[in-house]
Amino acid sequence: MNLDDYRGVWVFIEETDGVIEGVSLELLGAGRTLADKLEVPLAGVLMGDGIKPLASKVIAHGADEVYMIDHPVMKHYRTESFMKGVIMLAEKYKPEIFLYGATPNGKDLASAVATDLNTGLTADTTMLDIDMDNRLFEASRPAFGGNIMATILCKKHRPQMATVRPKVMKALEPDPSRTGRIIEEKIALSEEDMRTKVLKIVKDITNKANLAEAHVIVCGGKGMGDLQNFQMLYDLADAIGATVGGTRDVVEAGWLPHHLQIGQTGETVTPKIYFAIALSGAIQHVVGMKNSEIIIAINKDPNAPIFDVATYGIVGDALEIVPKLTEQFKQMRNQKGGEISYA
Amino acid sequence: MHIVVCVKQVPDTKIIKINPKTNTLDRRSAPAILNPYDAHAVQEAVKIRKLTGGTISVLSMGPPQATAVIKRSVEIGADRGYLISDRAFAGADTLATSYALSKALEKISKEMPIDMVICGKHAIDGDTGQVGPGIARRLDIPPVTNVIEVAEVNLKEKTVLIKRKQTNGHELIQSQLPCLLTVEKEINDIEYSPLPNMIKAARYEPVIWAVSDFENVDRTQLGLKGSPTIVGKMFSPPKPEGGKRLEGTADDQVKELISLLMDKRELLMPKSAN
Ligand SMILES: Cc1cc2nc3c(=O)[nH]c(=O)nc-3n(C[C@H](O)[C@H](O)[C@H](O)COP(=O)(O)OP(=O)(O)OC[C@H]3O[C@@H](n4cnc5c(N)ncnc54)[C@H](O)[C@@H]3O)c2cc1C
Ligand SMILES: Cc1cc2nc3c(=O)[nH]c(=O)nc-3n(C[C@H](O)[C@H](O)[C@H](O)COP(=O)(O)OP(=O)(O)OC[C@H]3O[C@@H](n4cnc5c(N)ncnc54)[C@H](O)[C@@H]3O)c2cc1C
C-alpha cells in the first residue's frame, strides 16, 4: 500500500427520508478543519434513493465534492448495499481520512467497511486533529468511563477511519453560494441479491426523543434526597416549559426511567439551557451535556466539579432555591399575561 | 439450529487502573466478569433454543482465566464452549480480533455448521462495537446490529425476523440464516440459572485452541502485528472553564439568575418559535 496515493477527507452522509442527519453536518464542519490543515478537498459520500437534491446541501455545509450513488436498493440503510457502495468508492478514489457518525447505522457501516478495506477504525471519537509532521490523523476517544482520553493512530493503513459521536462537533453555517463538484457513480445491485430486508420502520416519539430535542432541560441528581423532593423539579420544568432528565444515580434509585438518563451511557443533549441541580458533575455525566449553550448549576458543595462547566453557578441548597426559582418564573409569566410564553 | 455466542471477559469496575508505561489496562486491578451484553446474548440463544431446539456453543478469545466466562455462559444455558488462547492473539485491535474469532468460527462450523452468531452490542472495556460486524464480513454473512427482539425464527425458510433499535424508534428486519446479531441489553432479562446448569458449569472444561491448532491462519493478521490501530497517547480530558458564580442570599441569587436569563430570553423560546 502506497500511503501517498491516498488524498482527501471524506464524510459519510447519513440521510433519512430526504433529510440529512445532524451528525453528518457536524462532521462536514469538523472535516473542513482537517481538510484545510492538510490542504486537500473535503468530500461527502451520499447514498440512497432519490438523494440527488441533497448534494447542494452537502456542499453548502462545507464540502468541495460529493460522491453520490442513487439506487432504489439503497432506499433504506442496509449494511449489505451501503457497504458495497462505500467500498467501491473508497477503492476507486482513495481518501486518506474517512469519518462516520457514531450512530447505529454509521457504526455498523464503518465496521463492515474497515474489515473489507483491511484498515483501522477508531470508535466513538470526540476529538480530531492532524499530526502535521507525519501527516497522521489523530482520533481521540474517551476510555475507561471517560476518565481518560486515548488518541488512536493508524499509521500504515489507509483510509484512516473513525466514527464520531453526535453533538460533539459543530456544523458550519450553510453557505448556499458555495460551489462544488458532484461525482455520480453507478453500482450493480439487485434486490434479489440482498439477504436482509427492512420490512418496517417504526418511529418512536416518546420522551427519549423529547430529551434529545428539548430546548430547556432540568436535570436532577442524587442530591435531591428522595423521590418526593425530586418532584419539585417537575414544578420548575412546568413553569419554564422544560423537559426533566436525571443522572445515572437517580435512574438507579428508581426516581426516573432509564431513557431519561443523561450522560455517557444515556442520552447526549444540547439544549439552549441546562439546569444541573444537586448533581456532582461526574465526567460520565458531563460528556452528555457539556455542549449545552447555557449551563446553570445549583449545588451546596462549592467544589463540586459541575461548577467547572457551568455558565452560572449557585452554591446553595437546591431544596430551598428551586421552589423560589419556580415561584419567580410563575409570577413573571402571570405578570406578562402570557406575553412571554415559555412553554 | 446451532447458535454460537461470542463472549468476552472484561474487567468489572468503575475504577480501572491504567499502566502509565504501556498505556494498557492493568487487568489485575479489577475482578473479571462476563461482558454484560454477552450474558444477554447467551440468554437470547437459550430463548431461541427453547423454540427451535439445537445447540448453543460459546466462543471466547483471551487468557486461560477466560474459561471463567465460558463456565458462566454454561450456567446461563450454553451447551459447549471454546476458548482460543495464545500469546499470538494478544494486543489485538478490532480488526485482528474479528480475524481470530472468525477463524475459530470456521473451525467450529466444520464440527457442526453454524446457523447464527450472536455478539454483544459492545464490550464494556474496549467499547467499540466493531467486532461483531467485522466477524460477519469475514464469514460473509449479513450482520444485524442493535437487536432488541428476535421475533421469529423460521427454520424451514431459513429466515429470522428481528427488531433493530434505531436512534428514533426501531426497524423490523428479515434476514436469511446464517446471520450475525449484536444484541442490546433490553432484549431480555437474565434468568436465574437452574441448578443442573450450575452443576454442569462447575465441572465444565472448554475446548482450548492455540494458534498451532489452526491450519490456515495468517499469523501476520493476528494480535498486535495484525492491528492497524495503536494507542498513541493517553491524556486527561481538557477541563472546561467555569463561568460566573452568583453571590448573596438565596433570594439574591435567584433574582440575579432570573435577570441574567431575561437578557437571553430568546433562548427560553422553543425551537418552533425561532
Ligand atoms: C462507565 C460509567 C458510565 C456512567 N454513565 C453515566 C451516565 O450516563 N450518566 C450519569 O449521570 N452518570 C453516569 N455514570 C455515573 C457517574 O460516575 C456518577 O456516579 C453520577 O453521575 C453521579 O450522580 P449524581 O451527580 O446524581 O450523584 P452524586 O455524585 O452523589 O452527587 C450529588 C450531588 O448533590 C449535591 N447535593 C446534595 N444535597 C444537595 C442539596 N440539598 N442541594 C444542592 N446540592 C446538593 C452534592 O454536593 C453532590 O455534588 C457512569 C459511571 C461509569 C463508571
Ligand atoms: C482504551 C482502548 C481503546 C480502544 N480503541 C479501539 C479502537 O478505537 N479501534 C479498535 O479497533 N480497537 C480499539 N481497542 C482495542 C479493542 O478493545 C480490542 O480489539 C478488543 O479485543 C475488542 O474490541 P472491543 O472490546 O471494543 O469489542 P466490541 O466490538 O465492543 O465487542 C462486541 C462483541 O464482540 C464480541 N467480542 C469482542 N471481543 C471478544 C473476545 N475477545 N472474545 C469473544 N468475543 C469477543 C463479544 O460478543 C462482544 O460483546 C481499544 C482498546 C482500548 C483499551
pLDDT top residue among A249 and B273: A249
Say yes or no to pLDDT of B128 above 90. yes
Task: Give φ, ψ of B258 to 5 degrees.
Answer: -60, -40
> Mutate which of A229, A261, A265 to test ligand 1's pocket (most atoms within 8 Å of Cβ)?
A265
Ligand 2 proximity of B128 Cβ (cutoff 6 Å): yes
pLDDT band per the 50, 70, 90 thresholds, residue B261: confident
Torsion of CA A13, A19, A25, A31, to 10 degrees: 20
Tell me, yes or no, whether A213 lies in a domain. Answer: yes
Q: What is the structure's pLDDT at B17?
A: 61
Say yes or no to pLDDT of B18 above 80. no
- The amino acid at residue A265 is T
A220 is in an annotated binding site: no
What percent of chain B is predicted at pLDDT more than 70? 89
Give me the residue from B232, B234, B245 closest to A315, CB to CB. B245
Tell me, yes or no, whether A85 lies in a domain. Answer: yes
A338 is in an annotated binding site: no
CATH code, domain with A68: 3.40.50.620
ipTM of the complex: 0.86
> Per the CB < 8 Å rule, is A124 touching B253?
no
Q: What is the structure's pLDDT at A107?
A: 98
Range with the largest mean pLDDT of B22-31, B43-52, B263-272: B43-52
Say yes or no to pLDDT of B163 above 90. yes
Task: Encode pLDDT of B206-250 as tens digits.
Answer: 999 999 999 999 999 999 999 999 999 988 877 666 688 898 999
Beta bridge partners of B60: B83
- A244, A308, A239: which is closest to A280 by C-alpha? A308
Task: Encode pLDDT of B63-97 as tens digits.
Answer: 999 999 999 999 999 999 999 999 999 999 999 99
For CA atoms A321, A325, A327, A328, the dihedral sign is: positive
* 3-state SS assignment for residue A3: helix
Q: Are A113 and A83 in contact (CB under 8 A)?
A: yes
Alpha-carbon distance of A54 to B118, in angstroms, equals 37
Q: How many CB pairs under 8 A join A and B?
A: 232
Tell me, yes or no, whether A268 lies in a domain. Answer: yes
Asked if B177 reaches chain A (Cβ–Cβ under 8 Å), the answer is no
Give the helix/strand (H/E) hosting A199. strand A196-203
> Mutate which of A124, A141, A222 to test ligand 1's pocket (most atoms within 8 Å of Cβ)?
A222
Q: Is B69 left (phi over 0), alpha (psi -120 to 50) or beta?
A: alpha
Q: Are strands A148-154 and A136-143 parallel, antiparallel or unpaired?
A: antiparallel
Third-level CATH fold of B2-221 = Rossmann fold (3.40.50)
Domain locations along chain B: 2-221
Ligand 1 proximity of A247 Cβ (cutoff 6 Å): yes
**Which of A140, A314, A330, A336 to substitute to test the interface with B, most B CBs within 10 Å?**
A314
> Per the CB < 8 Å rule, is B235 touching A290?
no
Asked if B159 reaches chain A (Cβ–Cβ under 8 Å), the answer is no
Q: What is the structure's pLDDT at A342?
A: 44
Tell me, yes or no, whether A198 lies in a domain. Answer: no
Tell me, yes or no, whether A202 lies in a domain. Answer: no
DSSP secondary structure, B22-73, as one string: TTEE-GGGS-EEE-HHHHHHHHHHHHHHHHH--EEEEEEES-GGGHHHHHHH
Alpha-carbon distance of A123 to B94, in angstroms, equals 10
| Nearest-by-CA chain B residue for A299 | B245
Q: What is the structure's pLDDT at B195?
A: 96
Largest CA distance in chain A: 71
Residue showing cell 466466562: B69
Q: What is the CA radius of gyration of chain A?
A: 23
Domain boundary among A146, A165, A193: A193
Asked if A157 reaches chain B (Cβ–Cβ under 8 Å), the answer is yes
Tell me, yes or no, whether A101 lies in a domain. Answer: yes
> Per the CB < 8 Å rule, is A112 touching B243?
no
Q: What is the structure's pLDDT at B239?
A: 64
Please give the mean pLDDT across all residues of chain B.
91
| B244 to A221, A287, A337, B66, B157: CA distances (angstroms) | 21, 21, 31, 51, 65
Q: Find chain B residues with C-beta within 8 A of A329's C-beta.
A: 258
Low pLDDT (below 70) residues in chain A: 145-146, 205-209, 335-343
Q: Are A193 and B176 in contact (CB under 8 A)?
A: no
Task: Encode pLDDT of A256-313 as tens digits.
Answer: 998 899 998 888 898 989 999 999 999 889 988 988 889 999 999 999 999 999 999 9
Query: Which domain, by its residues, includes A261?
Result: 207-335
